[in-house]
Amino acid sequence: DIQMTQSPSTLSASVGDRVTITCRSSQSVNDRLAWYQQRPGKAPKNLIYKASSLKSGVPSRFSGSGSGTEFSLTINSLQPDDFATYYCQQYNDYPWTFGQGTKVETK
Amino acid sequence: EVQLVQSGEEVKKPGESLRISCQTSGYTFAAYWIGWVRQMPGKGLEWMGIIYPGDSHTRYSPSFEGQVTFSTDNSISAAYVQWSSLKASDTAMYYCARPIIIEGTTPGAYDIWGQGTMVTVSS
């Protein structure tokens, strides 16, 4: 199985901050990498697909980059709604796998 | 509007069987894969597997192979996951999700999610 490792596990930030979450895969997943946001008690929501493509309707302060084994999700100017847990997921090889999650909390 | 609506919360005893559902609407059911994701209390997302209603082709995560069974009823555009003998460790929130199509019938990122079904297994 491809292992997905996110860092950091927890990130403390303030409204207006620029934050970056990193996701590394144990082998290349090409660009078949998605990012999801999950708020407490809610279903996950897709933000980014194909490593850097922003899903329609997602605010442009979210961006993704990377390919191969190293990826990142950046949130420019963090908003109150953005305090949540973020997951990366590879869909290049079965079984698909998720990272362990990064919780963005209030500093 | 594409929607995935899951069945309600379940409370079961160890050893009991269970089937939960994911009722879809707003798109051609047979043309899109449906995936299942587990989230144990306070934990992260785990990929369980995926089924293609068009031909019932299924891929299970090794962690779930033999533990659960995916199925669909194309006549009513619904997907299911079932357990024949529940364990306490099956206590979790279960999500269904529909991926985008990358090309042909190849699934991609999970685009649309159900609201989740909480399953509690306790004696």
A91: nearest CB among B60, B62, B109: B109
CA angle B42, B38, A38 (to 5 degrees): 60
- How far is the alpha carbon of A77 from chain B, nearest alpha carbon, in Å? 25
Percentage of chain B exceeding pLDDT 90: 97
pLDDT tens for B49-58 read 999 999 999 9
The confidence score (pLDDT) of residue B104 equals: 86
SS3 assignment, position B29: helix
The confidence score (pLDDT) of residue B37 equals: 98
Confidence of residue B25 (pLDDT cuts 50, 70, 90): very high
Average pLDDT over residues A40-67: 98
The residues that bridge with B25 in the sheet, in sequence order, are B3
A95: nearest CB among B44, B47, B115: B47
Report in angstroms the alpha-carbon separations of B96 from A24, A51, A54, B70, B79: 25, 22, 22, 11, 8
Please give the mean pLDDT across all residues of chain A. 98
The confidence score (pLDDT) of residue B103 equals: 87
Residues of B in contact with A38 (CB under 8 A): 45
Report in angstroms the alpha-carbon separations of A48 from A53, A74, A102: 5, 11, 15
pLDDT tens for A74-103 read 999 999 999 999 999 999 999 999 999 999
Which of B2, B40, B43, B45 to mutate to test binding with chain A, by most A CBs within 10 Å of its CB? B45
Asked if A100 is an interface residue toward chain B (Cβ–Cβ < 8 A), one would say: yes
The confidence score (pLDDT) of residue A104 equals: 98
Instruction: In chain B, count H helices and then E strands.
Output: 0, 11
The confidence score (pLDDT) of residue B87 equals: 98
pLDDT tens for B75-123 read 999 999 999 999 999 999 999 999 999 988 899 999 999 999 999 999 9
